[in-house]
Structure 1
Amino acid sequence: MKYLITIAVIALVLFSCTESKQKVAECSILESPKVIINKKTGAITFTENVTKVEGSNWWMGIIGQGHRMPFNENLEFDTWGVGFGNQVQPLILSDNGDVVWSEEPLRIENSDTELIVGSRDKIKVTKGGDNLKDGFLYASENYFPPSGKMPDELLFTSPQYNTWIELMYDQNQKDILKYANSIKDNDYPAGVLMIDDNWQEDYGKWNFHEGRFENPKAMMDELHSMGYKVMLWVCPFVSPDCDVYRELKSKGYFLKNKAGQPAMVNWWNGVSALLDLSNPGAKKWFTDELQRLVDEYGVDGFKLDAGDARFYTGDIELNGLSPNEHSKLYGEIGLAFPLNEYRAMWKMGGQPLAERLHDKNHNWGHLNMLIPQMLVEG
């Protein structure tokens, strides 16, 4: 009996499973019966106090905090509307095979002796086996089973080049072709070439900017002839001063504030409206725009940036979903395009989506984060 869960003053013991995989699959799941109701808001929170076996190590599905794992300090995390710039799963694992899961974002308080876990949905606690690998495999099979599909294999077999490093906001046809040629001229192989932010007319107006791209189809054809697959940067924002905004506003395709107007969201490139991807019409419009770029220009895929859960917080009506669930809706867009890349994500484990780490600064502190975060990312 290694695993102990304390609920109020009552101690319940969750039995240890044997080494048999069949018996592991039959392990009972203890769902949190302790409920806290906020008298002012009526919000319901489920909680568990998980007592840790001495010497055990614990990890949580927060990629952006992977350098702090396994937990070896007193800390608190709340993932409601927070993604730490990367992917988040509502999952906690130990190297003794313990598995903690909830369908809603988790909040934890960690100390030397216990984890206090909270969620707005039931918390499932079980023994998935005897070690970290067993626990992860149990979680994968039961909570995010593999789809059987993979992202485009080029993301794993060929170099990925990004024009942001060379051009930042000065994306233009002439310099993109110059960059692509210089790669080949220096005997590097062609691979995936990502054309980053500011190739477009405006945020939400997904046409090549005529002043910077005199013949985008010819550019795409030339890049393809050199052996590149080409991805374009996109985001879920729409600039409020462009004609596309007026069209989409009339159709009700934006998330609204409490006054019933399109919510204006501050992000790193200004203030924009945010597509409501829980609206089937808005989802279809965005997907159709991306498919049009594929059909007209031969674009091979997309770097789907932003989509962080934090952009869905504040004065926004969420239509009954959590901020994190809106982030997940953005993640589902990439399923239609095998050559995809994401940075921010909620859940979606086991799906054919390529996830990257958050940008890192040029310092030793951020360098030290790389391997721990990659290990948690898997």
Structure 2
Amino acid sequence: MKFTDGYWQTLPGVTILKAADLDQVEAAGDRLVAYCPTTRIRHRGDTLNKPVLTVTFDAPAEGVIGVRVEHFQGTRDLGPAFPLHRDDTAPTVTADGRTGTLTSGDLTVSVDAENGYRAQFSAGGRVLTASLPGSVGLVRDGEGRSFVREQLTLGVGEHVYGLGERFGPLVKNGQTVDIWNADGGTASEQAYKNVPFYLTDRGYGVFVAHPERVGFEVGTEVVSRSQFSVEGQALQYYVIHGPSPKEILDRYTALTGRPARVPDWSYGLWLSTSFTTSYDEDSVNAAVDGMAERALPLSVFHFDCFWMRQFHWCDFIWDPATFPDPAAMLERLRAKGLKISLWINPYIAQRSELFAEGRDLGYLVRTTEGDVWQWDLWQAGMGLVDFTNPDARDWFTSKLKVLLDMGVDAFKTDFGERIPSEGVVYHDGSDPAGMHNYYAQAYNQCVFDLLKAERGEGEAVLFARSATAGGQQFPVHWGGDCESTFVSMAESLRGGLSLALSGFGYWSHDIGGFEGTPDPAVFKRWLAFGLLSSHSRLHGSSSSRVPWAFDEEAVDVTRTFTRLKLSLMPYLAQLGEQAHAAGTPVMRPMVLEFPEDRSAAGVDTQYMLGDALLVAPVFSADGVAEYYLPAGTWTHLQTGETRQGPGWHTETYGFDSLPLFVRPGSVLARGAVDDRPDYDHLDGVTLDVFGLADGESRTVQVAPRTGAEAATFTVVRTGATLSATAEGTTQPWHLRAGAASASGSGAGTVSLTLG
């Protein structure tokens, strides 16, 4: 929230009491505490009638320092709160009354009284960021509300990233961001997935641990500082050291939760009925059989909203007029090798029988007057499931379990953003303002935990729209309601890259766009982008997204990129394992892989699919693509042609291709199957070697399936000879570099001579 009018004045009605002095710093066990009067203390009279801000530092994990700024400490904390995973870090704390330090791993905060209160965060002998005199403040506005704010310094050329799935520029400098979930599409400052966490390319990240509205002024209140504020009497945030962006995400997701593993089948192509299209079992079969007849591999079929009766969402009952025998239909679809996904949301329409049931049992959110909270937006008279009530969670999941028993495999957990922030009461007494964003977390966790319990670890997967910090634990998330244009395709990509730098390991989007019907050029270009994303779904609003609805070339493009993606499953599955183990996303902004390349810092029209593949979607009908290559000789995956970096390139591509380059020095694991994702990735795997220099070696791991023990392959180049050693496998595998190839079987070594 903005509080000032330029540098010298506050906005009308606003007063700011700043931490103007440092009365004392003391060590309190494993904490460091600073007492900061909001006026300079020259004599005893200055201690009267002025607030004192208490700033407490602790270390929840190695390389992480927590900061809590408090005014009144008698205020009740109603919740909700982000659960944090703390380790056994024992920080080093020193204090002499006027200065103090707390060190956690390689991160140190130093507090002193130079010109008032100051705190500097440093690592490796370098200051990362600092809270300067006057940065910490207690703010009151013209409406009588109290806020606590902090301002951390930004260095020259420092770039800020993250803050959730945001559709504007990837670099957040110069942006004002409110962390407040909204159902606002992909074309504005509103976002479905708001995450109060940012990282910078100077070696640190900042997590503001508040589920309620957090206001960020990234170089806008003061251009050399990142400001954040919350309403109330206390502000809690964490500074997280890297030093690299990957290491920051590792520590952040260790603190807030790792992305779960997702099943191999989820990486395949999903086909939807789409939203308001007219469909029944015959039309579903026509779409499924049409894909098979055209040799288009399909992994998941999704039923969108109208699998239920109109005005009854969500009662979880199949529309009997459209689907008279859903269990038999699902059995027939599963016999074709498909998994089944169903659309749901947490809103219960008044016409649904579940409304009266939930009302009478006390499972719906109520107003302060004791009535069920209702409105008519989306569904007539809808209420909200109260996920803070354990009995309500059990009630809700019992309805979903019936569907799982029927043969459903996954749920699209739509909505969860239109949540009232005042005038309502939750079962556990949670603050409604905090529940506005946190509701998505409670909703998605409830459904994900059910799937995990019923389907097993590693088999649970959602297609979720809303989220906040920690939501990465319940994948997958998709980008929401975008238009069917090239501009919207680009804004969707920016949203996904921003979410990746907010701790989310997987991401998807509606191929072709959601609103409207894309022209064939948009659809075909979006196909390549969508099928080179972690997860791929054909879905729209009022029109079908089957490829032959556009033209025959769209069918060919779908086949080309679906089969390409499925052949990459040994590689993609290991990227998923990295997301699960360390929070490193599958789709990576360029800055994540090339943090030292200043030219890559602001690139948001392309991405790395893992560490080896550079993908630059084409955003024009004429096929002209502009892309940036970092240093080295890059090889086009489809053609074998090479391009030199660093530098920008402009080229024209047909619909069956795009800038898809392999990073120099990569060993890319390719599967022996390209018609489904859930095969034995290790059996017959090919190790494609690209530009490995003399004396270099690379190690890759390949597991037969997600979560299984992986085999390890080590590839070494010595002069004109490539040799590869396999450990932990008895299956056949291949080594290839250009036209040269060699084969092995089981553990052992093979070699080939480069031409």
Aligned to 2:479: 357
Structure possessing the higher radius of gyration over alpha carbons: 2
Asked whether the equivalents of residues 367 and 424 of structure 2 are also in contact (C-alpha less than 8 Å), the reply is yes
Matched, 1:95 2:207: no
Shift of the 306–350 alpha-carbon distance from structure 1 to 2, 3 Å rule, reads: closer
Query: How many Å apart are 1:244 and its aligned residue?
Result: 2.1
Q: Give the TM-score normalised by structure 2.
A: 0.44
Matched, 1:369 2:515: no
Count residues with an aligned counterpart. Answer: 360
Asked whether the equivalents of residues 349 and 379 of structure 2 are also in contact (C-alpha less than 8 Å), the reply is no
Matched, 1:58 2:160: yes
Asked whether the equivalents of residues 180 and 194 of structure 2 are also in contact (C-alpha less than 8 Å), the reply is no
Asked whether the equivalents of residues 136 and 151 of structure 2 are also in contact (C-alpha less than 8 Å), the reply is no
Task: Output the CA distance in 2 between the equivalents of 1:217 and 1:80.
Answer: 40
Residue identity opposite 2:473 in structure 1: Q
Query: How many Å apart are 1:5 and its aligned residue?
Result: 11
Matched, 1:86 2:180: no
Higher helix fraction: Structure 1 or Structure 2?
Answer: 1
Shift of the 249–48 alpha-carbon distance from structure 1 to 2, 3 Å rule, reads: same
Task: Output the CA distance in 2 between the equivalents of 1:89 and 1:12.
Answer: 27
Shift of the 144–152 alpha-carbon distance from structure 1 to 2, 3 Å rule, reads: same
> Greater CA deviation, 310-319 or 247-256?
310-319
Residue identity opposite 1:335 in structure 2: D
Aligned to 2:466: 344
Deviation digits for residues 96-144 of structure 1, max 9, x if unmatched?
1222112214211132322210135533242513343333223222x22
Which among 265, 268, 282 is matched to residue 154 of structure 1? 265
Write out aligned runs for 1:234-273 (5 A).
234-273=344-383
Residue identity opposite 2:477 in structure 1: E
Asked whether the equivalents of residues 118 and 131 of structure 2 are also in contact (C-alpha less than 8 Å), the reply is no
Task: Output the CA distance in 1 between the equivalents of 2:125 and 2:393.
Answer: 46
Residue identity opposite 1:76 in structure 2: T
Which among 95, 119, 126 is matched to residue 230 of structure 2? 119
Task: Output the CA distance in 2 between the equivalents of 1:375 and 1:81.
Answer: 18
Higher strand fraction: Structure 1 or Structure 2?
Answer: 2
Which among 74, 77, 86 is matched to residue 177 of structure 2? 77
Shift of the 5–107 alpha-carbon distance from structure 1 to 2, 3 Å rule, reads: farther
Aligned to 2:388: 278
Deviation digits for residues 250-280 of structure 1, max 9, x if unmatched?
1111111233211113433444111111111
Task: Output the CA distance in 1 between the equivalents of 2:419 and 2:375.
Answer: 7
Which among 243, 250, 263 is matched to residue 130 of structure 1? 243
Deviation digits for residues 186-232 of structure 1, max 9, x if unmatched?
21112011110011132131111111112111110110011110011
Write out aligned runs for 1:167-316 (5 A).
168-201=276-309, 202-295=312-405, 297-308=406-417, 310-313=418-421, 315-316=423-424
Task: Output the CA distance in 2 between the equivalents of 1:298 and 1:224.
Answer: 8
Shift of the 327–37 alpha-carbon distance from structure 1 to 2, 3 Å rule, reads: farther
Asked whether the equivalents of residues 128 and 139 of structure 1 are also in contact (C-alpha less than 8 Å), the reply is no
Of all paired residues, the percent bearing the same amino acid is: 18
Residue identity opposite 2:331 in structure 1: D
Deviation digits for residues 271-306 of structure 1, max 9, x if unmatched?
4111111111111111111111111x2111211111
Task: Output the CA distance in 2 between the equivalents of 1:355 and 1:209.
Answer: 27
Residue 161 of structure 2 aligns to a residue whose secondary structure is strand
Q: Give the TM-score normalised by structure 1.
A: 0.85
Matched, 1:326 2:439: yes
Task: Output the CA distance in 2 between the equivalents of 1:140 and 1:372.
Answer: 21
Asked whether the equivalents of residues 17 and 129 of structure 1 are also in contact (C-alpha less than 8 Å), the reply is no
Residue identity opposite 1:146 in structure 2: R
Deviation digits for residues 7-57 of structure 1, max 9, x if unmatched?
9x745242421299xxx9xx9999x9644467977x653310122101100
Asked whether the equivalents of residues 130 and 153 of structure 2 are also in contact (C-alpha less than 8 Å), the reply is no
Question: Could you list the runs of 5+ residues in structure 1 that have no partner in the other structure?
Answer: none
Residue 317 of structure 2 aligns to a residue whose secondary structure is strand
Asked whether the equivalents of residues 35 and 46 of structure 1 are also in contact (C-alpha less than 8 Å), the reply is yes
Shift of the 97–11 alpha-carbon distance from structure 1 to 2, 3 Å rule, reads: farther
Asked whether the equivalents of residues 164 and 195 of structure 1 are also in contact (C-alpha less than 8 Å), the reply is yes
Residue 227 of structure 2 aligns to a residue whose secondary structure is strand
